[in-house]
Chain A
Amino acid sequence: NAGVMQNPRHLVRRRGQEARLRCSPMKGHSHVYWYRQLPEEGLKFMVYLQKENIIDESGMPKERFSAEFPKEGPSILRIQQVVRGDSAAYFCASSPTRDQPQHFGDGTRLSIL
């Protein structure tokens, strides 16, 4: 059984460019979560999505960040006009229901030049 798949594993962008991070949840999981891990900090919740719906985006910066989980295809976390402070590891997790354990991918490490 494939786990949560994230790509790319590493992404380098220059300031002002766009970053698109993709996440395919585990088979049978319809709940997707994005977390961010800044250097020397713990994992922080960003957004919770179900198919075609954003349930809670309270942890996501209101500007430049957006997320989607379309009916077909992976979940996408999009960061527009990246700045140095966006450098972090971004993790996606999925679960079959919202009460069951969340299983994580290996993350995308975003570096901003």
Chain B
Amino acid sequence: EDQVTQSPEALRLQEGESSSLNCSYTVSGLRGLFWYRQDPGKGPEFLFTLYSAGEEKEKERLKATLTKKESFLHITAPKPEDSATYLCAVLNDYKLSFGAGTTVTVRA
């Protein structure tokens, strides 16, 4: 069975304080690793797809990287509007298996 583990569970940052979120995974046939952002009361919002080890994607203050066993989401100089729960998911065939998420709080 596919397993996705995210750490830490929660992260409190000062505005401008860069940090990284970890997603480790075990999957029989990885067809992609996805990062989503979820705000309270909303659905997950797609951020990135990574398909192969060594791949990197960037969007504003966020950068996602992938190795054979884990992915990192780096947040550079975060702002309060980056506060959210960040979800990692692996695609096996057509099913997404999600981690429990990392809740990031950025204080001004």
Contacts and interface: CB of A to CB of B under 8 A. Distances in A.
A45 B100 contact: no
Chain A interface SS verdict (over half): strand
Q: Chain A: interface residue count, which band?
A: 20 to 34
Interface stretch (B19-27, B59-67, B88-96): B88-96
A55 B94 contact: yes
Chain B interface SS verdict (over half): strand
A63 interface: no
B43 A105 contact: yes
Contacts of A44: 98
Interface residues of B, number: 23
B93 A43 contact: no
Contacts of B34: 101-102
B87 interface: yes
Contacts of B41: 106
B94 A107 contact: no
B46 A91 contact: no
B101 interface: yes
A107 to B, nearest CB: 5
Given A91-B44, A107-B43, A102 B96 contact: yes
Interface of A: 4, 6, 31, 33, 35, 41-45, 48, 55-56, 59, 91, 93, 98-99, 101-107
